[in-house]
Structure 1
Amino acid sequence: MLAVCLEEFFRTGVLGEISLGMSRESVSSLLGSPDLWGPSNAKNVETATIWKYGDIEFYFSRADQLFQIFSDDFEIPTGGKTLHIDPWVIHDKMLAETLKAALDDARIPFTVQDVPTLPGVIQIVTAGNVRLMCRIELEPDDDFEELGLFSFCLSDYSLLS
């Protein structure tokens, strides 16, 4: 079992021993087979572009390189049977101000950016280049029903080419 801490992930952009650019084989050697994999049209786990361990999704390029670590379906992030996650202070619907205060307390530098395509949403980008998406205001015809943190993501799309 691999133990990871989200505080360090936000600080460094490395999830325990897992970093972007790693091969699928290297991720598999650390975590074993995923709990779930997809998309649904994938022929098998070896060719699936998404591996899911608990609440954490790993996205692989056609060249079998890890290009994204993502989570948007969590109450308190968990990692399944082979990935033990210390969630630090992270939970769904954590208010942006609370999250920013926790990052300040941990001395993790961050910036705050508007998300033009998502009114009422900001992204908090940490020193490790992890993007945390937070709803800060509700819109009248919005699918979101509550304020706060709803996803975090580290990606490097240059690994797709």
Structure 2
Amino acid sequence: MLAVCLEEFFRTGVLGEISLGMSRESVSSLLGSPDLWGPSNAKNVETATIWKYGDIEFYFSRADQLFQIFSDDFEMPMGGKTLQIDPWVIHDKMLADTLKAALNAAEIPYYLCDVPALPGVIEIVTAGNVRAMCRIEREPDDEFQELGLRSFCLRD
């Protein structure tokens, strides 16, 4: 089992021993077979472009290189059978101000970006180039949208 801490991931862009550019074989040697894989038209796990361990998705290029680590479906990030996650402070719908305060307390530099295609959403981009998408405003015609953290992602 590989133990990882999201605080270090947000700081460095490395998830335990896993970093972008690693081969599929290297990820497999650390984590074993994924809990789920896809997309649905993939013929087998060896050719699947997405491997999912708990709430964390690993995306591979056609050259079998890891190019993205992503999560958008979590209450508190969990790692599945072979990936033990210390979530640090991360949880679903965490308010942007709460995340910024945690980053400041941990002395993790970050900057903010607007997301023009998604009104009311900002990206908090950390020193490790991890991008946390947070809804900070509701759209006028959608009273049911919830504010807060929606996803986090590290990408080439």
Structure 2: which 5+ runs fail to align?
Answer: none
Same amino acid, percent of matched pairs: 88
Q: The residue matched to 2:89 in structure 1 has which SS? A: coil
Structure 1: which 5+ runs fail to align?
Answer: 157-161
The TM-score normalised by the length of structure 1 is: 0.95
Q: CA deviation at 1:143?
A: 9.4
Structure 2 match to 1:113 = 113
Q: Render the CA deviation track for 1:31-87: whole Å, top value 9, x for unaligned.
A: 000000000000000000000000000000000000000000000000000000000
Q: The residue matched to 1:73 in structure 2 has which SS? A: coil
Tell me the distance in 1 between the aligned counterparts of 2:25 and 2:93.
34
Query: Is residue 91 from structure 1 mapped to residue 128 from structure 2 by the alignment?
Result: no
Structure 2 match to 1:35 = 35
Tell me the distance in 2 between the aligned counterparts of 1:65 and 1:141.
41
Structure 2 match to 1:17 = 17
Tell me the distance in 2 between the aligned counterparts of 1:143 and 1:126.
30
Matched residues, number: 156
Superposition RMSD in Å = 1.1
Structure 2 match to 1:159 = none
Paired residue type of 1:57: E
Tell me the distance in 2 between the aligned counterparts of 1:104 and 1:124.
12
Q: The residue matched to 2:57 in structure 1 has which SS? A: strand
Q: The residue matched to 1:129 in structure 2 has which SS? A: coil
Paired residue type of 1:155: R
Tell me the distance in 2 between the aligned counterparts of 1:118 and 1:40.
27
Structure 1 match to 2:135 = 135
Query: Is residue 103 from structure 1 mapped to residue 103 from structure 2 by the alignment?
Result: yes
Query: Is residue 146 from structure 1 mapped to residue 153 from structure 2 by the alignment?
Result: no
